[in-house]
Amino acid sequence: MAPPRASSLLLAGLAAALSCTDERTNPLVPKFGEATAEELVGAMTLDEKIAEMHGTGAVDELFETAPNERLGIPGLKMVDGPRGVRAGHATAFPVAAARGATFDVELERRVGEAIGVEASAKGANMILAPTMNVLRHPAWGRAQETYGEDPTHVGAMAVAFIEGAQTHVLASAKHFAVNSIEDTRFDVDVTIDERTLREVYLPHFRRAVVDGHVASVMSAYNAVNGAPMSESAHLLRDILKGEWGFDGFVESDWVFGTRSTAGAAIGGLDIEMPTPVYFGGALSDAVLAGAVPESIIDEAATRVVRKKLAFADKLRPTVDATKVESPEHLALARDVAVESMVLLVNDGALPIARAPGTLVVVGPLAKVANLGDLGSSAVTPSSAITPLQGIEAVAAPLGVVHVEGPTFSTAELETLASASAVVVVAGLTSDEEGEGLITKGGDRETLSLPPAQEKMILDVAAVAKQTIVVVEAGSAIVVRPWVDQVSALLMAWYPGMQGGAAIADVLFGDASPGGRLPASFPRAEADLVSFDHSSLEVTYGFLHGYRWLDDQDTEPEFPFGFGLSYTTFAMSGLAVTRGAEGVIEVGVDVTNTGPRDGDEVVQVYVGAPAGSAVPRAPRDLRAFTRVHLAAGETRRASLTVREEDLAYFDVATSTWIVEPGSYAFSVGSSSRALPLAVSSMLP
Ligand code: BGC
């Protein structure tokens, strides 16, 4: 039944209203849950409208906006963040980079839902996630918070997270947009041409809006083409709210995220967080002085109230500790960590055989639950499993010895030499990468491991029979100085509170690794586009990541999409057919040709027609799916590519154009292993 409108309320309640002085019971006053957003905002004073447009600070780790008691409108209660809830103890999931490596959208939907459940159970009604900036360069301090370098992949993962989370709370797609340097995040101005902006830095945000129906978008700290993102009318009004039809609200990133009163309000910012520096009394004064039209305030307040109405049943959650760190969420955290592990090198040392002998586990990080950055994405679980604990729990009959490192005594070298195998746990921590100004981390100084760790790996490799390296980090590591000396290399990311158990699951073969790199690992840092963490002005080109490496014909150490398994796969029978309404169907048979069950990630890349009117990447990922196959099993994977995704943005006409011609569809298991290809004439 449609809610009664203000006009009918008016007639029905007129008599009662004549004698009524209490606004809460006055039938003339529209009520939250009964009236529309427009009616509620229409009944607000200027100050009440502006109160919808700013935070009021933090209470018990939740960032709040004020409720409107008179109209019965609840306030927002926001909480970070992308790998779990940053309030008290909560389930610490693997970081988003790890979840990107799963290439498993259904799993990510479950993570989003679990984080939404926990946010709600903590009393929040909005989660400040997902972080979904395309990883332009792996040295970005917050690389671990996002899903990877490819817009199609980031978009698909983020949509899944949003859909899951929004079954319980509002989500926030952040940081809109072109946010990829941390150390100068408040000041950097990114110059970017319109085509690069549209085709590389925005498509995933568009998906979050159009497919994910995300309730809110957080504007980034940085400026784009001279305008701070919290007042970029071009991005906020023309593109986000105009072209994409976003009907939610934009909140600023936190301290220093809002830079002006009139500029931000007119530019399209709806909520200043976390407190009213520009959007409190100053905004009211600006309206009264005629510097900001009241229609701008009406629109912003309506956007906020509209989303509150859409999420009305979720705005007053019940605090419920039993829903936090539940057995189901811990099991999910472990499954995700297992699926996220990327096996990069294996000369047969893995899986480790459970036979009598000694396994030596080396490295200070073996005894640490290395959960990642300590900035706004930090999550504090009530307990967490270290790699050493995970290995010790399942190694029998192998005996496990820990040698601290990074330097070794003569006796320790003898222990390493006599062991059946040595597992070295290496990597980065919040000291080397993370959110700027909050932790030591910030942007990375180098893509290499710290020198002491490189030496530690080489010292082990010089004496051990088998050196198995487990790397924990948020993104690509340059491994060239030592990788040829080791028997196996497993990328474990920051694997969350169950990480130690998941690492052991994979090392011992209780699970077969099936994660794939969501970002290219270069041989040398110079192989990638440049990254300067002190930039105040920077220009972004069209290519980065695998597109750049492909364009330059530069061999990566490990390509985007790459990952080994304990089994083997083959693909055949590629068919590309035109479906209805601009959808292209891609079908391929995938066979597990090896001795055990495992997961393959089918990847579809598309190259534009020869002689394109604009420069193109050699090929772009357009679809992917993760397939679980029992040993010997064959299944047909079905994927879809939208014709519109093959368009280029024509700057002169501001339109998207699908060029007529022959498009090359290549299918395989990484951006550099594409055994199947067919051409298709489009559009
Ligand atoms: C970060 C956001 C975060 C916010 C609130 C900012 O510094 O950039 O990602 O959500 O703080 O903690």
pLDDT digits (tens, 9 = 90+) for 493-536: 999 999 999 999 999 999 999 999 999 999 999 999 999 999 99
Protein residue with its CA nearest to atom 7 in ligand 1: 254
Quick one: which H or E segment has residue 461?
A: helix 451-463
Nearest atom (ligand 1) to Cα of 185? 8
Binned at pLDDT 50, 70 and 90, residue 55 comes out as very high
How confident is the prediction for the chain on average, in pLDDT? 95
Q: Cα dihedral angle (573, 578, 583, 585), rounded to 10 degrees?
A: -10
Protein residue with its CA nearest to atom 9 in ligand 1: 376
Collapsed DSSP state (helix, strand, coil) of residue 649 = strand
Nearest atom (ligand 1) to Cα of 145? 9
* Mean pLDDT along residues 398-420: 98
Pick from 78, 86, 128, 181 the residue to mutate for probing ligand 1's pocket: most ligand atoms within 8 Å of its CB.
128
Which pair of structure tokens corresponds to residue 320? Answer: 């419920």
Q: What percent of the chain has pLDDT over 70?
A: 96
Neighbouring residues of 518: CB distance < 8 A, sequence distance ≥ 6? 97, 100, 101, 103, 135, 147, 148, 149, 150, 153, 560
Binned at pLDDT 50, 70 and 90, residue 2 comes out as very low
Protein residue with its CA nearest to atom 3 in ligand 1: 376
- What is the CA(254)–ligand 1 centre distance, in A? 6
Is 128 near ligand 1, meaning CB less than 6 Å away?
Answer: yes
Pick from 61, 254, 373 the residue to mutate for probing ligand 1's pocket: most ligand atoms within 8 Å of its CB.
254
- What is the CA(265)–ligand 1 centre distance, in A? 20
Whether 13 has a pLDDT exceeding 80, the answer reads: no
Is 174 near ligand 1, meaning CB less than 6 Å away?
Answer: yes
Is 557 near ligand 1, meaning CB less than 6 Å away?
Answer: no
Spatial separation of the C-alpha atoms in residues 545 and 19, rounded to whole Å: 69
Is 222 near ligand 1, meaning CB less than 6 Å away?
Answer: no
* Mean pLDDT along residues 628-649: 98
In sequence order, the β-bridge partners of residue 439 are none
Is 373 near ligand 1, meaning CB less than 6 Å away?
Answer: no
Protein residue with its CA nearest to atom 12 in ligand 1: 376
Collapsed DSSP state (helix, strand, coil) of residue 413 = helix
Per mean pLDDT, which range of 14-28, 429-443, 652-666 is the poorest?
14-28
Is 220 near ligand 1, meaning CB less than 6 Å away?
Answer: no
Nearest atom (ligand 1) to Cα of 80? 10
Nearest atom (ligand 1) to Cα of 129? 10
Asked whether the beta carbons of 486 and 461 are under 8 A apart, the reply is: yes
- What is the CA(490)–ligand 1 centre distance, in A? 31
Asked whether the beta carbons of 244 and 263 are under 8 A apart, the reply is: no
CA distance to 99, 342, 384, 438, 451, per residue, from 369 (Å): 18, 19, 6, 20, 22
Is 376 near ligand 1, meaning CB less than 6 Å away?
Answer: yes
Quick one: which H or E segment has residue 414?
A: helix 410-418
* Mean pLDDT along residues 530-547: 97
Nearest atom (ligand 1) to Cα of 274? 5
Which active-site residues does the annotation give?
253
Nearest atom (ligand 1) to Cα of 255? 7
Is 80 near ligand 1, meaning CB less than 6 Å away?
Answer: yes
Whether 4 has a pLDDT exceeding 70, the answer reads: no
Helices 105-121 & 327-340, crossing angle to 10 degrees? 150
- What is the CA(498)–ligand 1 centre distance, in A? 25
Which pair of structure tokens corresponds to residue 395? Answer: 């190694």
* Mean pLDDT along residues 283-306: 98
What tens digit of pLDDT does each residue of 104-161 get? 999 999 999 999 999 999 999 999 999 999 999 999 999 999 999 999 999 999 999 9
Whether 213 has a pLDDT exceeding 50, the answer reads: yes
Whether 8 has a pLDDT exceeding 50, the answer reads: no
* Mean pLDDT along residues 193-201: 98
- What pLDDT is stored for residue 464 in this prediction? 98
Nearest atom (ligand 1) to Cα of 174? 9
- What pLDDT is stored for residue 313 in this prediction? 97
Token pair 């010292």 is at which residue? 459
Protein residue with its CA nearest to atom 8 in ligand 1: 253
Is 253 near ligand 1, meaning CB less than 6 Å away?
Answer: yes
Whether 222 has a pLDDT exceeding 60, the answer reads: yes
Asked whether the beta carbons of 596 and 622 are under 8 A apart, the reply is: no
Is 142 near ligand 1, meaning CB less than 6 Å away?
Answer: no
Whether 271 has a pLDDT exceeding 50, the answer reads: yes
Longest dimension (CA), the chain: 95
Binned at pLDDT 50, 70 and 90, residue 24 comes out as low
Spatial separation of the C-alpha atoms in residues 607 and 316, rounded to whole Å: 49
- What pLDDT is stored for residue 440 in this prediction? 77
- Enter the DSSP assignment of 92: -
Protein residue with its CA nearest to atom 11 in ligand 1: 254
Nearest atom (ligand 1) to Cα of 131? 9
End-to-end CA distance of the chain: 44
For 282, other C-beta atoms within 10 Å of its C-beta total 17
**Nearest CA-CA partner of 79 in 140, 123, 42:** 123
For 53, other C-beta atoms within 10 Å of its C-beta total 26
What tens digit of pLDDT does each residue of 351-389 get? 999 999 999 999 999 999 999 999 999 999 999 999 999
- What is the CA(73)–ligand 1 centre distance, in A? 25
- What is the CA(174)–ligand 1 centre distance, in A? 9
Is 258 near ligand 1, meaning CB less than 6 Å away?
Answer: no
Token pair 């049943």 is at which residue? 313
- What is the CA(68)–ligand 1 centre distance, in A? 25
Whether 10 has a pLDDT exceeding 80, the answer reads: no
Nearest atom (ligand 1) to Cα of 81? 10
- What pLDDT is stored for residue 481 in this prediction? 98
pTM of the predicted model, to two decimals? 0.96
- What is the CA(196)–ligand 1 centre distance, in A? 26
Pick from 131, 376, 439 the residue to mutate for probing ligand 1's pocket: most ligand atoms within 8 Å of its CB.
376
Q: In this predicted model, which residue has the larger pLDDT, 4 or 257?
A: 257
How far is residue 582 CA from its own chain's centroid?
A: 28
What tens digit of pLDDT does each residue of 572-607 get? 999 999 988 899 999 999 999 999 999 999 999 999
- What is the CA(62)–ligand 1 centre distance, in A? 12
- What is the CA(428)–ligand 1 centre distance, in A? 22
For 101, other C-beta atoms within 10 Å of its C-beta total 29
- What is the CA(272)–ligand 1 centre distance, in A? 13
Whether 9 has a pLDDT exceeding 50, the answer reads: no
Protein residue with its CA nearest to atom 4 in ligand 1: 254
Asked whether the beta carbons of 336 and 76 are under 8 A apart, the reply is: no
Which pair of structure tokens corresponds to residue 389? Answer: 């604990």
What tens digit of pLDDT does each residue of 643-662 get? 999 999 999 999 999 999 99
Is 182 near ligand 1, meaning CB less than 6 Å away?
Answer: no
What's the length of the chain?
683
Pick from 179, 253, 379, 443 the residue to mutate for probing ligand 1's pocket: most ligand atoms within 8 Å of its CB.
253
**Nearest CA-CA partner of 192 in 235, 243, 256, 142:** 235
Neighbouring residues of 110: CB distance < 8 A, sequence distance ≥ 6? 164, 332
**Nearest CA-CA partner of 675 in 595, 609, 589:** 589
* Mean pLDDT along residues 621-627: 98
Neighbouring residues of 233: CB distance < 8 A, sequence distance ≥ 6? 227, 266, 267, 268
- What is the CA(386)–ligand 1 centre distance, in A? 28
Is 254 near ligand 1, meaning CB less than 6 Å away?
Answer: yes
